[in-house]
Chains A and B, each alone.
Chain A
């Protein structure tokens, strides 16, 4: 399971626009490179990232080979209620890495 890092404010006022930052350790191998013996290195990338907030999807990202290794993304959402933010990264084989964070909204 790749390591992930998430930055979500612990608390926010209702209606605030909060910034969320996430990163996952992943090679994002493009499939265009060759090893020392001239053999192509197969493509291995994450293709989708989603963020759900209290069960509802608030952000989605489609990734291609042009995204750098260890994909980082920062995006915004409105603090609507106290609840869990669930982050899911899906790779090209369908394997899902999941992480979550809790936010208290007053």
Chain B
């Protein structure tokens, strides 16, 4: 059949099939990515860590991130929580959640009265421009939260790019 077609028709067909074939090649590796992050994913991670419908009050938690992160692979994060850090009243846990990373849990810190202060620093990965939410759990069980917005110009390499 191919042989009997006019020259330009045959060329058109092969061009079309080539285009379709190359599209498949492009789509296949992308569709296998598990990296699906949403604010709902973060809500789910928060529910798992803190219980269903936790009463989280805004305040007492200060989160410092650069306003603009040129590279999402390593972004400095600084957290401080207002607390006397005494045996009776201290920060027990600090949770860091992301709404855009493939894994909503970013990092957790366990503190206690021997910490002396509720101050931690680390470096994190950011897959996209987003708001980072930090929740502090006090020794009386109360939950307080703070956050910071960060614009990411080059995302962390969570995928194949």
Contacts and interface: CB of A to CB of B under 8 A. Distances in A.
B159 A32 contact: yes
A78 B73 contact: no
Contact of A76 (B75, B108, B115, B160): B115
Interface stretch (A3-11, A58-66, A95-103): A58-66
**Chain A residues touching B, majority SS:** strand
Interface stretch (B8-16, B27-35, B55-63, B133-141): B27-35
A61 to B, nearest CB: 5
A73 B159 contact: no
A30 interface: yes
Interface in A69-99: 69, 71-78, 80
A58 B115 contact: yes
B114 A80 contact: yes
A25 to B, nearest CB: 13
B18 interface: no
A17 B119 CA distance: 11
A78 B120 contact: no
Interface of B: 29, 32-35, 73-75, 96, 98, 101-103, 105-112, 114-117, 119-125, 156-160
Give me the 8 closest cross-chain CB pairs, A-B, nearest first: A17-B116, A66-B106, A60-B110, A34-B160, A68-B74, A78-B116, A74-B121, A68-B123
10 contacts: A60-B110, A62-B105, A62-B110, A64-B106, A65-B101, A67-B106, A67-B123, A68-B123, A68-B125, A69-B73
